[in-house]
């Protein structure tokens, strides 16, 4: 379903978008389940005493966990439907095409640029600290000396 529209174009960016969305859905569903677990009515096992854990995952079957799993499944389905739309797929295909045109700096160029930025920040920080010290002393001298006399 994800690659129904123009299946051979933009596969990398579509896959990256899919996994990022699934990760966000999993995190949100897990957070929701933890939040709902604080509600007393959803804490106990849904099926009673005999069947209290999912055999593979080893997690308790509580109302909060079932709601979290349901939200995850629904969010995943909606995310795949969103990514499969022609408009979204065209945008992602264009993004991948533009990313192929980018010239990425080498490690040496990136290191040199970082050194220049850090040096500039340190010089600016020193200048501002010196200016703050001088101007603070000047204003203290002007204000407190006038008030004292």
Span 125-133, mean pLDDT?
97
pLDDT given for residue 8 in this prediction: 74
Cβ contact 72:32 at 8 Å = no
Task: List the domain boundaries for the chain.
Answer: 1-102, 105-149
Residue 2 three-state SS: coil
Q: How does pLDDT run across 32-90, given as a tens digit for each residue?
A: 988 887 775 555 555 455 456 566 666 667 777 788 889 999 999 999 999 888 898 89
Angstrom distances, CA of residue 26 to CA of 6, 20, 36, 74, 91: 28, 10, 15, 11, 25
Percent of the chain surpassing pLDDT 70: 79
Q: How does pLDDT run across 8-22, given as a tens digit for each residue?
A: 787 888 889 999 999
């Amino acid at each position: 379903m994800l690659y129904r529209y123009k299946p051979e174009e933009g596969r990398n960016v579509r896959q990256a978008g899919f996994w990022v969305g699934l990760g966000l859905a999993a995190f949100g569903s897990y957070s929701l389940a933890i939040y709902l677990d604080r509600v007393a009515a959803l804490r106990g096992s849904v099926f009673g005493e005999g069947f209290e854990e999912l055999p593979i995952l080893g997690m308790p079957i509580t109302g909060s966990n079932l709601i979290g799993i349901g939200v995850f499944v629904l969010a995943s389905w909606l995310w795949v439907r969103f990514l499969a739309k022609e408009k979204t797929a065209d945008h992602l295909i264009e993004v991948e095409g533009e990313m192929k045109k980018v010239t990425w700096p080498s490690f040496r160029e990136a290191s040199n640029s970082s050194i220049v930025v850090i040096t500039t920040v340190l010089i600016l920080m020193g200048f501002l600290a010196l200016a703050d010290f001088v101007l603070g002393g000047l204003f203290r001298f002007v204000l407190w000396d006038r008030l004292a006399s």
